[in-house]
Structure 1
Amino acid sequence: MIQGCTSSAGKSYLCAALCRALANEGYRVAPFKAQNMSNNAGVTPAGLEMGRAQLVQAQAARVVPDVRMNPVLLKPEADTRSQVVLLGRANPGLSALGWRERKAHLWPHVQAALHSLLAEFDLIVIEGAGSPAEVNLRASDIVNMRVALEARASVLLACDIDRGGAFAHLLGTWHCLTPEERAHLKGFILNRFRGDPRLLAPAPAWLEEQTGVPTVGVVPLLDIPLPEEDGVWAEDQGPSASASSAGGFVAIPRLPRVSNLDEFAPLGPLARWVSTPAELEGARAVILPGSKSTAADLAWLRASGLAGAITRVAQAGVPVLGICGGLQMLGRRIRDPHGVEGGGEVPGLGLLDLETEFALGKTTRLTACTDAETGLRLHGYEIHHGQTVSGSGVQELVPELLWRSGNVRGTYLHGLLENPAYLERFLTWAGLTPPVPLASLDARLDAIAERVRVSLDWDFVRRLL
């Protein structure tokens, strides 16, 4: 089991590497994370929703994704409210319960999913969440040491040394564990290290003297991207990381509840996340991303001034693409009669002659279609409560899925830009040259697995199996 001193310590990345490395050695491996909190989700072949990180880890393990690998998914809708997705389906009753009240209802499902996977596979690579040192959450824990104890798992604790304070993080986390929990902690991993590992001495030996736990790996900072649950890719894409305004870029509003943001990774350095109208200047295209709180994020878009700015650049002929929640925002009206996002009705931007109404049920499915505009065969997935109907002022390119009015397009198809031919076509409309494409996900997983394997004491890891 990989746990972390903090969120964004690289747990998902390390688990994907371990899944692929162990699968390469002939083990039947499955990933497992009891509870995710993320709006970066995807869809299994069975049409069920689960965390994006576990979908990637399943591919790393070369197994079919199964919601038992992520039985509980929490999708934040506000600072104090999340939608609970249990075994791939949104559960309104559990969503209405308080954080601590949910444990009694969720833990039996976590146990059942964990033990069924343990019975079917040789090895389970388990990912923790946040930090096991959050003692205020110990009583309601269903994802960190509670799972380690249930599975009798060996735990490797990772920290992000690039952020500084690594040895204090590791020692402090160890001190916060109970004696029973410490017995499962077998090693420390220094993750995302830059420089000469010899300069770390004598700190690893000192840490082992304090805790009795060895440091079993120093993993370098790897420039091999993977889709992750926490949106690390988006956090790294500031103006300094983007293409210059002179060369043009694709502007993506940084919505407060943005979802499925990893689908924009194929844009590479052309992507620029924007929060103000001034940052939109020089954009050759605009993409309105998905949102877990569409009406609230539309209000933010208006308050920030971006709504008006996007309308103006659209009227000037700049290509605009809305995906899922972004599509709904581009329409004329959004209705929420069942209170899926709190209820009410709000006007959209009016750039597409569409109206959306949120249904109680959620559409979750893998989708393949042919775009009537380009003739391209497209593949992706859908996750939405919205049911959208079109008026006479918009062209329906794919029924109930893809619409166009001039230079403005909207779709429910997540992963649209992960279709290389469509990405090239979209960037051509914007007058931009497509970036060098990413290597295939399988190739990246193989590369990461090998780099992580040689960075760990692999014989030590094998003895834990």
Structure 2
Amino acid sequence: MPAKCVMVLGTSSGAGKSWVSTALCRWYARQGYKVAPFKAQNMSNNARVVNTRQSSVTEFSNADQASGEIGSAQYFQALAANAEPNVNMNPVLLKPEADTRSQVILLGKVNTELSTMSWRERSEKIWPHIQQSLDYLIAENDVLVIEGAGSPAEINLMASDIVNLRVARYANAQCILITDIDRGGAFAHLYGTWALLPKPDQQRIKGFLLNKFRGDPTLLAPAPEQLKSLTGIPIIGTIPMLFNHGLPEEDGIFDERTLDRKAGALKVAVLVYPRISNLDEFQPLKNITDLELIWARQPSSLEDVDWIILPGSKQTSADLAWLKQCGFERVIEKHIQRGKMVLGICGGLQMLGQVLHDPFNIDGAATGLGHLAIQTTFAKDKQVNKITVRFGQVKGLWSALSYLEVFGYEIHHGKSSHKTADNEKQALMAQEIIADLAWQNSLGNVLGIYIHGLFEDPAVIKSLFGKEAKTLDTVFNNLADLIGHHIPKETLLSLVE
């Protein structure tokens, strides 16, 4: 029997679609259903490496095409559903490279032709692939939890929509419309979104959901009944404001209000450059007690921090230029001279090196920060791999990682290698501790690595911080418990039975 489809739509971006979809994946899985997530098109620089061999499209069956990219939200939703993540769950991923340009990932792989097309032009070319992925997942599962994007009622985009209403119609989905009540205007958002939908699509909405509620629930009356009288649709639940739930945020940057200022805590600062990527991998640091995670948007944020992390970047050379222009270069150098810890991940590793070469006009050539004696050359083909490797001997402040086996993933164009030292200072910055993947300086306080997801490895958390990591299963179960507590069980079951 084909899967029943439940779709989570939102009145806006950030309403809570991703985490509610994740919670529903685990809730339905706990009822004994075979569950999978789906989002037709995601726009994010937070991506994960998954299997392409489970694709509905045979063109990705070759061994050299075994890995591809999907949005991180669908990756975590798949884990919540107890399903193996694969490219069908997010057939189209847009990775912004500039304000008016995105790299298009189709079924896990970069598609250069689509990347050069306008949004409306490429929609019809993309839709057949979305259909194929939907058909595949519907045939293979009992329940499909579908996440929408932004709002389904953007009337300037509706004619070219391939994420919201078109998917809901094709999958015959039962829809929930969620809104962020903490922003204010929630009832107007719900009514306005519903009112702008075509009549047949209004009938797909089976319930409204209020998210991020703080205060006295009795103050909501009489609005829920008035809204139902206007639309015929009930409010099926009111979800309280939930800070520190343990799931990476939809767009990576955590709400500053949720960051605990902890006296005496280890202070870890992550640089927030304009094209930052893969921020979701730092959620485990936020879950650690006695650690304060700081988002550094200006050099003053780096005062008195213990660690500086240069994260991944979708446009390394441009973000490196921004970093220098804003004055981070001098502050990072002083931090290193004081013997404090610096970590560069992927694009951050490349920035810490001597030079960036770009013979194919992929990213842009640049001079690096010069703290690791490596050079990076951007290649035409992107490295997209799951990876399990073992550290060699690691010196100094990072020595806890010595000989540790770790798992993670690679997503990068650049290939880095040792650069012949021009002087004695550079000669001290060249120790390779994982072949082609990780280097550190002679003082042992600067580490650069291509592996994303390092802090999601419990062994790494235990070695570096002496802490037991909160497991993802615990996070998923807590979210499912929350949904189950605030939405009646019979309502959730009625959506799929």
Query: What TM-score range do you get, normalising by the shorter chain?
Result: over 0.9
Confirm or deny that 1:227 pairs with 2:248.
Answer: yes
Q: CA deviation at 1:391?
A: 2.7
Q: Which residue of 2 aligns with 1:42?
A: 48
For 2:15 and 2:253, the matched residues in 1 are separated by: 10
1:103 aligns with 2:120: no
2:457 corresponds in structure 1 to: 419
CA distance, structure 2, for counterparts of residue 196 and residue 140 of structure 1: 41
Residue pair 1:39, 1:229 contacting (<8 A) in 2 also: no
Matched-pair contact (CA < 8 Å) for 1:60–1:445 = yes
Q: Which residue of 1 aligns with 2:313?
A: 291
Equivalent position to 1:376, from 404, 419, 425 = 404
Choose from 417, 422, 430 the match for 1:389.
417
Q: What are the Cα deviations for residues 404-427 of structure 1, in whole angstroms up to 9, with x where unaligned?
A: 112111000101122344345545
Asked whether the equivalents of residues 242 and 272 of structure 1 are also in contact (C-alpha less than 8 Å), the reply is no
Spell out the pairing of 1:254-333 with structure 2 (5 A cutoff): 254-268=272-286, 269-333=291-355
SS in structure 2 opposite 1:320?
A: strand
The aligned residue for residue 20 of structure 1 is 26
- Cα deviation, residue 107, structure 1: 0.6
Contact 2:461/2:469 (CA < 8 Å) preserved in 1? no
* Contact kept in structure 2, 1:323 and 1:413, CA below 8 Å: yes
SS in 1 for 2:330: helix
**Residues 50, 68 of structure 2: 8 Å contact kept:** yes
The farther-off stretch of 388-397 and 143-152 is 388-397
Count of residue pairs the alignment pairs up: 453
Shift of 1:114: 0.5
Tell me which amino acid in the other structure corresponds to 1:225. Answer: G
1:140 shift after superposition: 1.5
Q: Work out the percentage of aligned pairs sharing the same amino acid.
A: 49
Amino acid at match of 1:69: M
Q: CA deviation at 1:282?
A: 0.2
Residue pair 2:373, 2:419 contacting (<8 A) in 1 also: yes
2:284–2:456 contact (8 Å) kept in structure 1: yes
Do residues 87 (structure 1) and 107 (structure 2) align?
A: yes
Q: Out of 362, 366, 372, which is 1:340 matched to? A: 362
Choose 269-278 or 320-329, whichever is displaced more.
269-278
Amino acid at match of 1:402: A
CA distance in 2, matches of 1:292, 1:231: 14
Moved more, 387-396 or 63-72: 387-396
Contact (CA 8 Å) 1:42, 1:49: kept in 2 or not? yes
Match for residue 438 of structure 2? 402
- 1:29 alignment partner, one of 6, 27, 35: 35
Contact 1:158 1:191 in 2 (8 A): yes
Cα distance change on mapping 1:157 and 1:252 into 2, 3 Å? same
Q: Is 1:363–1:382's contact at 8 Å kept on the other side of the alignment? A: yes
Q: Which amino acid in the other structure matches residue 435 of structure 2?
A: P
Give the distance between the partners of 2:214 and 2:309, measured in 1 at CA.
34
Change in 2 beyond 3 A, CA 1:128/1:168: same
Alpha-carbon offset, residue 128 of structure 1: 0.1
> Normalized against structure 1, the TM-score is what?
0.94
**C-alpha distance in 2 between matches for 1:385 and 1:122:** 38
Whole-angstrom distance in 1 between the partners of 2:368 and 2:327: 14
Q: TM-score, normalised by structure 2?
A: 0.88
Q: Any idea what SS the aligned residue of 2:156 has?
A: helix
Please name the residue that 1:9 is paired with. Answer: 15
Question: For the residues of structure 1 that align with 2:273 and 2:344, how far apart are their CA atoms?
Answer: 13
- List gaps (5 residues or longer) in structure 2: 1-6, 52-65, 395-401, 421-426
8 Å contact from structure 1 (residues 275, 306) kept in 2: no
- Alpha-carbon shift at residue 91 of structure 1 (Å): 1.0
Counterpart Cα distance in 1 of 2:438 and 2:349: 9
Distance 2:247 2:404 in 1: 26
For 1:430, the equivalent position in structure 2 comes to none
1:210 aligns with 2:216: no
Secondary structure in structure 1 of the residue aligned to 2:336: helix
1:128 matched to 2:148? The reply is: yes
Q: 1:439 maps to what in 2? A: 470
Query: Is structure 2 residue 475 aligned with structure 1 residue 453?
Result: no
CA contact (8 A) 2:260 2:292 kept: no
